[in-house]
C-alpha cells in the first residue's frame, strides 16, 4: 500500500464505518469503489462523495460473485447491530460466509491484500477479561446472536485458510464497539439509542440492570487503525483487536449522555436481550506494538461530536 493512486474496493462502503473509510482513502488520493446493497448502508452517508472524480458506486450484494479490477479490498459488508443482523439471520450468515468466499476469490485472482472487518463478537460472552486475540471465545452456536458471531468466525476461518493454502495477503481486524457520526438513528445500538432518547427528553432504555460493560472507540481512531493494518507486510495477518480499552457500564454511559445533552430524560429498565455479553474490553497491546496505534479520542469528546451529528439529523 505504499503506492498512491490505487483503486480500492470497500464493500459495505455505504455503511457507518465504510463511508468514513471511503472518505479517508479519497483524501489520500486513492480511487474508491464503494459497493453496497443498502440493506443497512445509506446513500445519505456517501451522497457528498458522488461527484468526486475518484469515487464510484456499485449497488451489489456480496453474497453473489463480483468481478472488478482493484488493488486492495476492505470487506466491511455486514449488518452489525443486533437489531439489524437478527432481522434476517439467514442472510446475515450468508453475507459473512458467501461474501468472504467471493471476495477472497477476487483477492486470490488479483493477488491483492484483503482486510476483513471481524468483530469482538467472535469472543461471544467472554470468560476471559480483557479479551486477547489468543482467546478462542465463548459463543453460543444456536442462539439469536449466532448468525453474526458464527458467520464472522467462519469468515475468519476462510481468511486464514486462504492465507495458509493459497497465500492470499489477509488482514483480520476484530472491531470492538465503535461510535460516531453516521451511526443510523434506528440502529438499536446503545450509543445512538441513548443520544437520540436524551435529545428528545425521552426515557433512556437500560437493558438489564445496566451493569454490563462495553468499551467505545471513536470512528476516526478506528479508521486510522484500518489504514495502518492494510499497510503491513504479508506476514502480518492479525487477528488484531481494535478498540478503545476504556470500559464503562451502560449506566455510566447513560449518565454521561444525559449530562452532555442537558437532558431531562430518566432511566427506565428493560429486559436484557438473550446472550448479551456481560463484559467487553479489548486488550490492544498487539495493535499498539504492530501498528504503533493507540486510540486518541476520549469518550466525552467523541460523544460530543456524535451528539452534534444527531442534533443536526433530528432537525431535518
Ligand atoms: N443496550 C441498552 N439500551 C439500549 C441499547 C443497548 O442498555 O437501548 C445495551 C445492550 O443490552 C448491551 C450494550 O448496551 O449490553 C451494547 O449494546 P449494542 O447493541 O450497542 O452492541 P453490542 O455490544 O451488544 O453488540
Q: Which listed residue (74, 85, 123, 148) is catalytic?
A: 148
Q: pLDDT tens, 295-306?
A: 999 999 999 999
Q: Is 278 within 8 Å of 272 (Cβ atoms)? A: no
Does the pLDDT of residue 3 top 70, yes or no?
A: no
Helix (H) or strand (E) holding 31: strand 31-36
**Residue 4: its pLDDT value, please?**
65
Q: Which residue in this structure is represented by grid cell 459473512? A: 96
Answer yes or no: is the C-beta of 212 below 6 A from any ligand 1 atom. Answer: yes
Answer yes or no: is the C-beta of 190 below 6 A from any ligand 1 atom. Answer: yes
Does the pLDDT of residue 288 top 60, yes or no?
A: yes
Helix (H) or strand (E) holding 193: helix 190-199
How many whole angstroms separate alpha carbon 254 and alpha carbon 251?
A: 5
Alpha carbon 46 to chain centroid, angstroms: 17
48-52, 183-187, 309-313: segment of lowest average pLDDT: 183-187
Q: What is the Å distance from ligand 1's center to 127 Cα?
A: 19
Closest CA to 72 of 140, 160, 5: 5
The contacts of residue 114 (CB under 8 Å, 6+ apart) are: 72, 73, 74, 75, 103, 104, 106, 107, 159, 168, 169, 170, 171
Cis preceding linkage at 258, omega within 30: no
Answer yes or no: is the C-beta of 217 below 6 A from any ligand 1 atom. Answer: no
Q: What is the Å distance from ligand 1's center to 169 Cα?
A: 34
Q: Which residue in this structure is represented by grid cell 489477509? A: 170
The residue nearest atom 6 of ligand 1, judged by CA position, is 190
Q: What is the Å distance from ligand 1's center to 188 Cα?
A: 8
Does the pLDDT of residue 8 top 70, yes or no?
A: yes
Kindly state the average pLDDT of the residues 245-266: 97
Kindly state the cell numbers that stand for 181. 457520526
How many whole angstroms separate alpha carbon 243 and alpha carbon 240?
A: 10
Q: pLDDT tens, 103-155?
A: 999 999 999 999 999 999 999 999 999 999 999 999 999 999 999 999 999 99
Domains within the chain, CATH numbers bracketed: 7-179+217-244+281-296 (3.40.50.720)
Helix (H) or strand (E) holding 281: none
Answer yes or no: is the C-beta of 195 below 6 A from any ligand 1 atom. Answer: no
223 — pLDDT class (breaks 50, 70, 90): very high
Packed helices 250-261 and 299-315: angle between N→C axes, nearest 10 degrees: 60
Q: What is the Å distance from ligand 1's center to 244 Cα?
A: 16
Q: Which atom of ligand 1 is nearest to the CA of 197?
A: 8
Establish whether 218 is a catalytic residue. no
Query: CA of 184: how far to CAs of 88, 159, 197, 280, in Å?
Result: 18, 29, 14, 22
Q: Which atom of ligand 1 is nearest to the CA of 194?
A: 8
315 — pLDDT class (breaks 50, 70, 90): confident
The pLDDT > 70 percentage for the chain reads 99
- 207 DSSP β-pair partners: 270
Answer yes or no: is the C-beta of 198 below 6 A from any ligand 1 atom. Answer: no
Query: CA of 11: how far to CAs of 77, 131, 281, in Å?
Result: 5, 27, 27
3-state secondary structure of 300: helix
Q: What is the Å distance from ligand 1's center to 273 Cα?
A: 9
Q: Which of 83, 117, 189 to mutate to test the pocket of ligand 1 (most atoms within 8 A of CB)?
A: 189
Q: Is 29 within 8 Å of 4 (Cβ atoms)? A: yes
Amino acid at each position: 500500500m505504499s503506492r498512491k493512486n490505487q483503486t480500492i474496493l470497500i464493500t459495505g462502503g455505504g455503511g457507518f464505518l465504510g463511508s468514513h473509510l471511503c472518505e479517508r482513502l479519497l483524501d489520500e488520493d486513492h480511487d474508491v469503489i464503494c459497493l453496497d446493497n443498502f440493506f443497512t448502508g445509506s446513500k445519505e452517508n456517501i451522497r457528498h462523495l458522488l461527484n468526486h472524480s475518484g469515487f464510484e458506486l456499485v449497488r451489489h450484494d456480496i453474497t453473489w460473485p463480483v468481478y472488478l479490477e482493484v488493488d486492495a479490498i476492505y470487506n466491511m459488508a455486514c449488518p452489525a447491530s443486533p437489531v439489524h443482523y437478527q432481522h434476517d439471520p439467514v442472510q446475515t450468515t450468508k453475507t459473512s460466509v458467501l461474501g468472504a468466499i467471493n471476495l477472497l476469490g477476487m483477492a486470490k485472482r488479483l493477488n491483492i491484500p484483503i482486510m476483513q472487518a471481524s468483530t469482538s463478537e467472535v469472543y461471544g460472552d467472554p470468560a476471559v477479561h480483557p479479551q486477547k486475540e489468543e482467546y478462542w471465545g465463548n459463543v453460543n452456536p444456536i442462539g439469536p446472536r449466532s448468525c453474526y458471531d458464527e458467520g464472522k468466525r467462519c469468515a475468519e476461518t476462510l481468511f486464514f485458510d486462504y492465507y495458509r493454502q493459497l497465500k492470499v495477503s489477509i488482514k483480520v481486524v476484530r472491531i470492538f464497539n465503535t461510535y460516531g457520526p453516521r451511526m443510523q438513528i434506528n440502529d438499536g445500538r446503545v450509543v445512538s439509542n441513548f443520544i437520540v432518547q436524551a435529545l428528545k427528553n425521552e426515557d433512556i432504555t437500560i437493558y438489564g440492570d445496566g451493569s454490563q460493560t462495553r468499551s467505545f472507540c471513536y470512528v476516526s481512531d478506528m479508521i486510522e487503525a484500518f489504514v495502518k493494518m492494510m499497510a503491513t507486510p504479508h506476514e502480518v495477518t492479525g487477528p488484531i483487536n481494535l478498540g478503545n480499552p476504556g470500559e464503562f457500564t451502560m449506566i455510566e454511559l447513560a449518565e454521561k449522555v444525559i449530562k452532555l445533552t442537558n437532558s431531562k430524560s430518566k432511566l427506565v429498565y428493560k429486559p436484557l436481550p438473550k446472550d448479551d455479553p456481560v463484559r467487553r474490553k479489548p486488550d490492544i497491546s498487539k495493535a499498539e506494538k504492530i501498528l504503533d496505534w493507540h486510540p486518541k479520542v476520549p469518550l466525552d469528546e467523541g460523544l460530543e461530536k456524535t451528539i452534534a451529528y444527531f442534533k443536526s439529523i433530528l432537525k431535518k
